[in-house]
Amino acid sequence: MPSVPKDGAAELGGQYIIAFANEKGGVGKTTSCVNVGAALAQRGLRVLCIDLDPQANLTAALGIPPVEAEAHGLHRFLSRTEMPLAEAVATTDVGNLELLPACPSLAEYEGTLAREPEGTGRLRAKLRRRLSQAGTGPDLVLLDCPPSLGVLTANALVAATHMIVPVTPRLYSLKSMAQLGTLVASLHWEAGATVKLLGILVTLFDENVGLDTTLYRLLKEKIEGEFGDFMFPKPIASSVAISEAEAGGRPVVVRAPKTSAALAYVALGEEVLARLRQDEAGALGSFVGTAAA
């Protein structure tokens, strides 16, 4: 993996696993994951992205060809008992950024995983073991969830320490976010998930559309009124540059770093780091209580 000098200010107190999850498709989970990952990697953090979506959009967005994805692949990492993490990981063109790719075979493996008694905790068990073995493993692991609340999303939420929920300013997207909350609560009870919400990220936002601004304000008022400062301060505007970057197989923060979309994701990466540091100080709250006990 190409190495970039590490920024001392970016160092974190521990290894964090952040899931990008929402049941609704097309809300920007993959785009946010790849660009936050690339932004933080450019900042000097060692980042591992894991593609849990059988559609393998994250894999394509980082320019990994399907043949290589099939050869490595998350399904192999999950199904094989002793496969080292380094063997499953593919390097990318972005310095400090690695990828555990997905391929269509993951969809078949999802069915197998669902039938296993400890299927929802498979990724957590694997990651914990491999990351502790690695010693010099990544600072951040970013999980790109599929657009469903199936066993792969459950694996991600059980394995994650934090989650970011991308939503579009649309009612269905917000309803899906509420559904995700129900799953998180269930996993907390049934599988001992301790994932904390790092923030809600509004994506595909158009400030010139009245519906977008209205729903954004309503959501912000509700979240901040009931739970606190859990909305990321700036929504990500819809941008052609992002789509062009996706087609080119590179994150927009790498392909077009001066575009407003890239700058927005760089700022988001900084905000993610700041919130992780706040969490180290206990600012995000902590509940690892009796639910799973």
Partner 1 sequence: MRVDHTPTSSAPTATMEVATAEISTPEALTPIRRRGLARAALQQLTVRQLLCWLTDQDPGPSHIPSPAQREAESHAVLAIRELLQSGWCEVWAWQDNRCHPISLDAPVIQVAGREPEIRLDVRSLEDAVRPTKRRRSDLRASELGPLHVTVAEESAAVHESRPQVELMPLAQVEAVVRDPAVRATGGAVKDGAESLGYLRKTDWLRAQFLPEIEVLDFRGLFVGNKGLWILDDRKQHTSGAVNPKQIAYLLLRGNGYRRGGNHVKALMCYQELTELDPSNADFRYLLETTYQAIAAGGSGA
Site for partner 1 (CB under 8 A): which residue of 174, 191, 201, 262?
174
168 touches 201 (CB < 8 A):
no
Beta-bridge mates of residue 142: 18, 49
Stretch near partner 1 under the rule CB under 8 A, chosen from 6-14, 56-64, 189-197, 247-255:
189-197
- Dig out the tokens for 35 from the structure: 């660009």
Stretch near partner 1 under the rule CB under 8 A, chosen from 32-40, 102-110, 112-120, 221-229:
221-229
223 interacts with partner 1 by CB under 8 A: yes
285 interacts with partner 1 by CB under 8 A: yes
* Distance of alpha carbon 58 from alpha carbon 143, whole angstroms: 10
Closer CB to partner 1, 99 or 193, in the complex: 193
* Sign of the alpha-carbon dihedral angle for 51, 150, 159, 10: positive
Site for partner 1 (CB under 8 A): which residue of 171, 240, 247, 274?
171
38 interacts with partner 1 by CB under 8 A: no
198 touches 162 (CB < 8 A):
yes
Binding positions for partner 1, 89-148, rule CB under 8 A: none
Closest CA to 220 of 196, 199, 198: 199
Burial of 35 (0-12, 13-18, 19+ CB in 10 A): buried
208 interacts with partner 1 by CB under 8 A: yes
Closer CB to partner 1, 118 or 224, in the complex: 224
Closest CA to 157 of 111, 192, 193: 193
Closer CB to partner 1, 255 or 275, in the complex: 275
Q: Which amino acid appears at position 192 of this protein? A: G
Question: Nearest distance from residue 117's CB to partner 1, in Å?
Answer: 22
Site for partner 1 (CB under 8 A): which residue of 50, 193, 245, 273?
193
Number of residues that bind partner 1 (CB under 8 A): 44
What are the residues whose beta carbons fall under 8 Å from the beta carbon of 206, sequence distance 6 or more? 212, 237, 238
Site for partner 1 (CB under 8 A): which residue of 33, 41, 60, 165?
165
Burial of 83 (0-12, 13-18, 19+ CB in 10 A): middle
* Distance of alpha carbon 292 from alpha carbon 58, whole angstroms: 32
289 interacts with partner 1 by CB under 8 A: yes
Residues engaged in binding partner 1 (CB under 8 A): 163, 165, 171, 174-175, 177-178, 180-186, 188-189, 193-197, 200, 208-211, 213-215, 217-219, 222-223, 226-227, 230, 284-289, 291
